[in-house]
Amino acid sequence: MRRVWTVILVSAVLGAGSILQMALMPRRADDAPGKVVQEYCSLDLNGARVGGSLGVPRIFKLVTWTVEPGWDTITVVRSYRLIDSRGTNTEAEVRVQYQTLAEISATVLDPKTATETVTFVLHRFGSSWRIEKPVLQPHVSIQGAIAAEQQALGANDDPSDKRHIESTIKQLEALKNARN
């Protein structure tokens, strides 16, 4: 009887190790979770999550949250790339690296050139994957930021706010021209 329990215990420990290894199994960055994150990042880069964009319904097909926060700050990025993906059949992590250029907060542009790495956590729901976290502030291209600021300019009646927004647009244009 003792031998049977030893075999069961060893099997349970080895089985738990296999499950742990499976949770850390590398995946190709272009697998199903990777494709979801790629689409999310592409939509975000093009401004789908700022200024009441029409892209928000497409974002909600890719994420688990049902309301997009009203963001006061956006990150302006030059580019992003999927680094790697790992997980199981029901849960995955996809790492993305952003090359950031600036942050815009309350119509003030703050240059912040850096490399930012974000780990997206996804869960499988039936046959589709959805991003669970993080609920990250928008990461938009320079052109996406200009479009969002122009939309804010058109929706704002306060002369002081309009001057700040116009100044931010000029700074973004200068940043864009410096990159070309």
Residue 160: CA count within 13 A, CB half-sphere:
1
Indicate the burial class of 36 (C-beta count within 10 angstroms; 0-12, 13-18, 19 or more): buried
Q: What range does the domain containing 152 cover?
A: 26-179
pLDDT at 34: 94
In a domain, 41, yes or no: yes
Percent of the chain surpassing pLDDT 90: 47
In a domain, 42, yes or no: yes
**What is the pTM (predicted TM-score) of this model?**
0.79
pLDDT digits (tens, 9 = 90+) for 25-49: 554 444 699 999 999 999 999 988 8
In a domain, 96, yes or no: yes
In a domain, 161, yes or no: yes
Mean pLDDT score of the chain, rounded to an integer? 82
How many domains does the chain divide into? 1
pLDDT digits (tens, 9 = 90+) for 115-146: 999 999 999 998 899 999 999 999 999 999 99
pLDDT at 57: 81
Residue 30: CA count within 13 A, CB half-sphere:
0
In a domain, 6, yes or no: no
**Between 141 and 176, the higher pLDDT residue:** 141
In a domain, 160, yes or no: yes
The CATH number covering residue 155 comes to 3.10.450
In a domain, 110, yes or no: yes
In a domain, 11, yes or no: no
